[in-house]
Structure 1
Amino acid sequence: MTDYESLRLANIQRNKNLLEELQLDKPILQPPTALPSAKRRKLGITPAAPTRSSARLSALPRPSYKDEPDANQISKPPTKPLATSQPSRSKSPSGIAPSISPTNWSSWTPAAPPPTRSEDGTLNFASHPSFLPNKTPHEVIREGCFGGTYFRPLYSAHLGLTISNDHMELPASWTQGLDASRYILSPTYDASVNKYGVACGQSIEQWEANGWINHDFDVRGWFQWYCRFYQGRRCADDERQVGRWQRCCGARGRWRRALLKRYRDAGVREVFADDEEDGSKEVSPVVHQTCHHWAWELRQPVLDAYWAD
């Protein structure tokens, strides 16, 4: 291995050891008061692909992002040969050499305690009280996200090198029993992996091209930031990422509001019933999956409050 690879693997092992000592690698238990179970897909050790598909889903209109990925645009990973993973100081398309040292990607240590969880499933981070997701990173992964491609080898045009094996820093309990080659390392996007069985969002390469990734911290963007933030890392990019989450799925977030409006327009008062045979109450699985990628899931109390209001 190169000196860079040896150093990065050493950093990953050091972080894992520290997380084990602090018991931050263990999933947070669900709250004692169970959420409504009638409309829930059960979380198992080995997630299963959707049991049915609907021909009309492909005809549903998909939402458009303004400053976030377009839910209607899916692109395959680049077909060009992947570059070497050896650190590079090659220039970005703008002609400016990257300011990041690749060794920073895994060189972090937990600086904050794990979040607490409310009875309704909301996660509460003491350092950022306005950040209120209700899905942990490992729940998002195990339930199915990003078409199974999130941690695939990634060529960064900005950095001029390929990022790979950074999934190794995830706690082992997050992926235990999971088919990693299908759920996080797939080279091609597979919509059937996703919890709601539909495709949404853009590729990481497009996120990079659109300027949504801060390469000084998380070269894969939002979800990698969330995985690390959840484990206790704090960095200078936290406020930006929390702000992005608020604009998407916060109390006034556009995807949250768009989803509630679709329930209202459809006259549906129960949260997405993906286990119903006739599928008559399916409401915008694409927006559901988009919110799921942002670690937020519409739950019955929120929908009830919306209808009451």
Structure 2
Amino acid sequence: MSKYEALRLENIKRNEALVKDLGLQNDSLTNEDERKSAGRKPPAAKRRKLHPTSQPTRTSARIANSSTQPIYNEDAQNETSVSKRKPRKNQTSNDQSSIPRSPSPQPPPSKDLKTLIASWSSWKPEAPPPTRDVEGTYHFPSHPQFTPNKSPEAIIQEGSFGGTYWRPLYSRHLRTTISEDWRELPTSWTSGLDVQKYLSNKTYNPEINKYGVSCGQSIEEWEAAGWIAHEYDVRGWFQWYCRFWLGRRCADDERQISRWRKCVGETGRWRRTLLRKYVQMGIRSVMDEGDDGDEERAGDVSPVVHQTCHHWGWEVRQQALDRFWVEGK
């Protein structure tokens, strides 16, 4: 026996003697001795009660009412979708400005391809042109909640989508290439522009954009996500806006206006993001007033978000910035 083991046994005997002298014998040991002398079996050990998996003690109406199916929700997303990046080789532009989330696939067109393509240009204007208020905001009587402050003509003339929006577009959904559809635009909108450079360029050129930066994803990516309504506009949002401006009204209007409101409407995420950046940088003037150099500083306020808002038909105006400084909205 090792020295350590002998010392341990000695300590055990000493402790047992001490417990006996103090009258502190363990009742369970005494009862065990009695059971053995009587020939009785020890009682079965009690099994520990297993509790079911814990559930939250509070209930959430949001969780309770949520669907198990993916929901397309453009205003619930991370804001990294619009980023300043170096365009890839042969990268193309798009008319969308955020990373796709849970897709909401569009149903296949109900018309044959020839009839479908013909329908894109066979519509007739149903509404008058919008009116413009003193702040430069446009108003459409048929849809009062749609209030952009950039016209399609201005978006085109000032530089947008890297010059590629109207390029030949192969639709995997329709299995055909769409081209030359820029010709449906009023000639005044494209007057003086190099069409091949500013409208149908096959390669995205950020220098063409008003703010000189690249943003967004390609129309092909949005088609793959299921967010192009081929029945109405094979190129998506901006093509819809052009036709809506010219008086077309269709079943896709509410969806597109809802998307616009979530992006640059009164509480739109990109609009609020941009205005918040002005406040964080201490810039109170959209244009230089000649005494504080705000014009140069304003150019530093996220050109990417500026370009994104521009694609969605909205830009920061002084009245909106003043309100945001005072009201935070």
**TM-score using structure 2 length:** 0.65
- Give the unaligned 5+ runs of structure 1: 1-63, 80-93
Q: How far is 1:252 from its partner?
A: 0.4
Query: What is residue 308 of structure 1 aligned with on the other side?
Result: 326
1:216-227 equivalence runs, <5 A: 216-227=231-242
Q: Give the percent of matched residue pairs that are identical in Structure 1 and Structure 2.
A: 57
Q: Is the 8 A contact 1:75 1:202 kept in 2?
A: no
2:286 to 267, 271, 295: 271
Query: What is residue 121 of structure 2 aligned with on the other side?
Result: 106
1:239 aligned partner, one-letter code: E
Return closer, same or farther for 1:142/1:69 CA change in 2, 3 Å cut-off.
Answer: farther
2:170 aligned with 1:159:
no
1:292 to 310, 316, 319: 310
Q: How far is 1:65 from its partner?
A: 8.2
Question: Greater relative contact order: 1 or 2 (C-alpha under 8 angstroms, separation 6 or more)?
Answer: 1
Give me the CA root mean square deviation. 2.7
Query: What is residue 125 of structure 1 aligned with on the other side?
Result: 140
Tell me the matched-pair count: 230
1:66 to 77, 80, 89: 77
2:148 aligned partner, one-letter code: P
Q: Per the alignment, in what secondary structure is the counterpart of residue 162 of structure 1?
A: strand
Q: How far is 1:77 from its partner?
A: 5.2
2:268 to 241, 253, 257: 253
Q: How far is 1:104 from its partner?
A: 1.4
Q: How far is 1:278 from its partner?
A: 9.3
Query: What is residue 24 of structure 2 aligned with on the other side?
Result: none
Q: How far is 1:142 from its partner?
A: 0.1
More helix by share: 2
CA distance in 2, matches of 1:301, 1:65: 27
CA distance in 2, matches of 1:221, 1:160: 17
Query: What is residue 205 of structure 1 aligned with on the other side?
Result: 220
Q: How far is 1:66 from its partner?
A: 3.1
- Give the unaligned 5+ runs of structure 2: 1-74, 93-104
Task: Map Cα deviations across residues 124-156 of structure 1 (whole Å, 9 max, x no partner).
Answer: 000000000001100000000000000000000
Q: How far is 1:69 from its partner?
A: 9.9
Larger Rg: 2
Q: Per the alignment, in what secondary structure is the counterpart of residue 291 of structure 1?
A: helix
Return closer, same or farther for 1:210/1:108 CA change in 2, 3 Å cut-off.
Answer: same
**TM-score using structure 1 length:** 0.69
Displaced runs of 4 or more, over 6 A? 275-278
CA distance in 2, matches of 1:141, 1:223: 10
CA distance in 1, matches of 2:79, 2:128: 29
